[in-house]
Amino acid sequence: PSLHSQRHQFVVDFVRKNKPNKVADLGCGECRLLKRLKFQRNIELLVGVDIDGAKIKKKMQGLAPLSTDYLQPTYDQLHIDLYQGSVTQRDARLRGFDLVTNIELIEHLTLPDLELFSSVVFGYMRPASVIVSTPNSEFNKLLPGLTGFRHSDHKFEWNRSEFRSWALQVCLDYGYEAEFTGVGEAPQEQQESVGFCSQIAVFQCFNVLPDRDEEEVFSYTLVYSVNYPTLR
Ligand code: SAM
């Protein structure tokens, strides 16, 4: 499977194991991860957010129920919402989730925006779990013909220690703990020295209770919303 698919599979496996009810994918792009997650029956609310509304709209119809879903409903409950919005801005509708995923998103943010991202996701949304994946720059030397970053829109690419120190600071600032892993393996003899192609941190919150004094802000624009036909 492609690296892209391996990153999404990592999230699917996490969902199978941890059974979150409310899941949001930030930087959802063309909704490919969401299309895989909608088959996980424990999920009752599935939300995608991307700054690029046109990108969301391109393939979002693929999230619609099929005629068989109407003829023979198999869901207890599933609602899907897609928003155009930036992860640097707060929106009250994104609070109280069980899982928020950020797959190959943070490296597209400037460092000031990354600070805002941390305060929005970990400080304001305060989901129970957060998954962040980003390129591991140590792996780049194994990618043939690559000079510079893997993508022209990347604002940075971190090595394992830079990613770790960012994640551990987030944990201290917002009351989370993190575990580190990745997908995309190097040849056996180099695995240890370069690490995974995509590095992943899985964060768990100590205390999911949001700050009660926060004002209710709605800065995202709803672009798609659907209720799946249910069994009952
Ligand atoms: N997560 C998807 C995946 O795994 O295929 C897409 C990853 S793509 C490399 C990065 C995505 O982040 C793009 O769709 C881009 O529009 C989005 N993005 C960049 N900056 C953003 C921001 N400030 N807020 C929300 N989305 C953003």
Interval 128-147: pLDDT, tens: 999 999 999 999 998 888 88
Query: Ligand 1 centroid vs 106 CA: distance in angstroms?
Result: 8
Atom 12 in ligand 1: residue holding the nearest Cα: 27
Interval 181-200: pLDDT, tens: 999 999 989 889 999 999 99
Q: What is the pLDDT at residue 213?
A: 66
CATH fold for the domain made of 3-227? Rossmann fold (3.40.50)
Looking only at the bridges linking them, the beta strands covering 176-183 and 22-26 are unpaired
CB of 130 within 6 A of ligand 1: the answer is no
CB of 116 within 6 A of ligand 1: the answer is no
Percent of the chain with pLDDT over 70: 97
The CA–CA distances, whole Å, from 190 to 6, 139, 158, 193 equal 20, 10, 18, 5
Of the residues 10, 105, 125, which should be mutated to test ligand 1's pocket, given the most ligand atoms within 8 Å of the CB? 105
Q: What is the pLDDT at residue 36?
A: 98
Helix axes of 160-174 and 111-118: crossing angle, nearest 10 degrees = 40
Query: Ligand 1 centroid vs 124 CA: distance in angstroms?
Result: 20
CB of 32 within 6 A of ligand 1: the answer is yes
**7-11, 83-87, 213-217: which range is least confident on average?**
213-217
Mean pLDDT (the chain) is 95
Instruction: Give the dihedral sign, CA 3/127/107/141.
Output: negative
> Where is pLDDT greater, at 232 or 79?
79
Query: Ligand 1 centroid vs 72 CA: distance in angstroms?
Result: 35
CB-based burial label for 11 (10 Å; 0-12, 13-18, 19+): buried
Percent of the chain with pLDDT over 90: 88
Residue 79 has pLDDT above 80, yes or no: yes
From CA 51, how far away is CA 46, in angstroms rounded?
17
Domain positions in the chain are 3-227
Interval 24-42: pLDDT, tens: 999 999 999 999 999 999 9
